[in-house]
Structure 1
Amino acid sequence: MVKRRTVLSEDELKIVQKNRTDEEVFEEFFKDCYLRNLRPTTIKYYENEFHASKKLIQKDLVQWQPEDVEEFICRSKDLMTITSINTRLRALRCFYNFCSKKKILKRNPMKETKMLRDRQKTIETLDNNEIETLIKTIRKDRTFVSFRDEVIMLLFLDTGIRLSELAGIKLQDVQGNKVIIRLTKNLFERTVYLSEITQEQLERYIKIRGDLATDYLFVNRDNKPLNRHSIQTRFQKYGRDARIQKRVSPHTFRHTMARRMILMGIDAFSLMTLLGHSDMTITKKYVNLWGADIEAKHRKHGALKGLRL
């Protein structure tokens, strides 16, 4: 008796179904990124991580199975840190979630994959003495560049803005004691506020800067917009010159600002707004991290202190 043909087998389905290439799917994925108005740096991040992942496994992403993801993680552990692996996994997760949503792939190979657990690293901040030493080190050179860098450092410490946000500030964004931050990570503009000393130094810098062809606030010695790499390398140099053992960077200044604000009693929601966090997760991490300091402050300045009850 001849066997009747009914449902196609898995092997037969592979013959019938059109195999999509990475190039075809990437074109759809990145088109979706542009339509969602993702930042160019985010799109570049996806491109880099996809390319690196394919290179490690030697297989198109659209052909990956759960075991390929597992193999990718195992190989990665010999090559990079847990933080770097998780960064790559997040990019891959976005890609496979898109493929699942568009029904490009029958199965999401990362459906059961979780981020790798990592040890909680200590977040370094600068103390009063280190901040004052840095300022003194910068002021040793009485040049336009050193004065500019002093103002940049004050702005970082006063507002907690990111390096990319500082590099994107334009003259018209400075409005008295506040600065409008437009080039943000989450695309939401926000306002940060300046203390009296930062406002005064910034006004002096703007006078010295003068009228230029560019409207970017911070410029180099050739009157061109200052790039992010230059800012990073200069503060690394100041840190070495000041013999500070900690990492001196824009992100260290951001952490320092957060810690000092928490110790002064700012609430988590206000801090989240000032730092430009899209949710409370990282802000809570800061609050929990420096909670011991707040506990000591409460013991010293508690509301019931001095009452005879």
Structure 2
Amino acid sequence: MNCRNNKLEEYAMCLLLMTTGIRNSELRALRYRHIDFEHSTIHIEEGQKTNIGTVFMPDVLKLTLKNYTSKSAFQQRLRSCNDYLFTLNCKNQLNIDALKKRIVELTRESGIQRKVTPHTFRYTTAKLMQISGS
């Protein structure tokens, strides 16, 4: 069984990091049940330095997550009682090393020369919010 949606999964993961500014530990602990499509929010319950909170989902993220979670590979994972949004090997929670490796691979494929880490997304989100006056 190929349980990963590959590019769609990676796009959803990067878009989520970029548009919400959540920490990598919060991303790795994120479960399907934490997503509220009706109210366009994500409930953050676990992660380093995390108090329970809620983040807003922009429309593009909401559509991407709906698309990603509707795919048969993701639905198979849900039926097997694994509701982590992103996984290491279809069964286990994504760990920090695997997340870093995926990001390095994506930046290399994209031709980005700078070093990009999961925390780079958080910095970028904060900078974009500062620029926009949010």
TM-score, scaled relative to structure 1: 0.38
| Identity, % of aligned positions | 27
Residue of structure 1 in register with 2:41 after alignment = 178
Residue 238 of structure 1: which of 106, 111, 125 is its match?
106
Give unpaired runs (5+ residues) of structure 1: 1-142, 267-309
1:260 maps to amino acid: L
**CA contact under 8 A between 2:26 and 2:50: conserved in structure 1?**
no
Residue 168 of structure 1: which of 29, 39, 44 is its match?
29
Rate the CA distance shift 1:219–1:184 in 2: closer, same or farther, 3 A: closer
Does 2:111 align with 1:248? Answer: no
How many pairs are equivalent?
A: 124
Does 2:26 align with 1:158? Answer: no
Aligned-residue offset at 1:172:
1.2
Residue of structure 2 in register with 1:225 after alignment = 93
1:261 maps to amino acid: M
Aligned-residue offset at 1:155:
0.2
Aligned pairs for 1:251-262 within 5 A: 251-262=119-130
Residue of structure 1 in register with 2:81 after alignment = 213
Whole-Å separation in 1 of the counterparts to 2:100 and 2:44 = 19
Aligned with 1:144: secondary structure? coil
Give unpaired runs (5+ residues) of structure 2: none
**CA contact under 8 A between 1:144 and 1:221: conserved in structure 2?**
no
1:251 maps to amino acid: H
Q: Which structure 1 residue ranges, 4+ long, deviate > 4 Å from structure 2?
A: none
Q: What is the root-mean-square deviation of aligned Cα atoms in Å?
A: 1.6
| 1:238-267 deviations in Å (ceiling 9; x for gaps) | 11222212112211111110000111101x
Aligned-residue offset at 1:221:
4.8
Aligned pairs for 1:84-123 within 5 A: none
1:181 maps to amino acid: I
Residue of structure 1 in register with 2:9 after alignment = 148
Highest RCO, 1 vs 2 (Cα 8 Å, sep ≥ 6) = 2
Whole-Å separation in 2 of the counterparts to 1:215 and 1:195 = 22
| 1:145-176 deviations in Å (ceiling 9; x for gaps) | 22111000000000011111100111111111
Aligned pairs for 1:284-295 within 5 A: none
Residue of structure 1 in register with 2:52 after alignment = 189
Aligned-residue offset at 1:189:
0.9
Aligned with 2:6: secondary structure? helix
Q: Which has the larger radius of gyration?
A: 1
Does 2:126 align with 1:265? Answer: no
1:218 maps to amino acid: F
Whole-Å separation in 1 of the counterparts to 2:25 and 2:54 = 15
Q: Which has the higher strand share?
A: 2
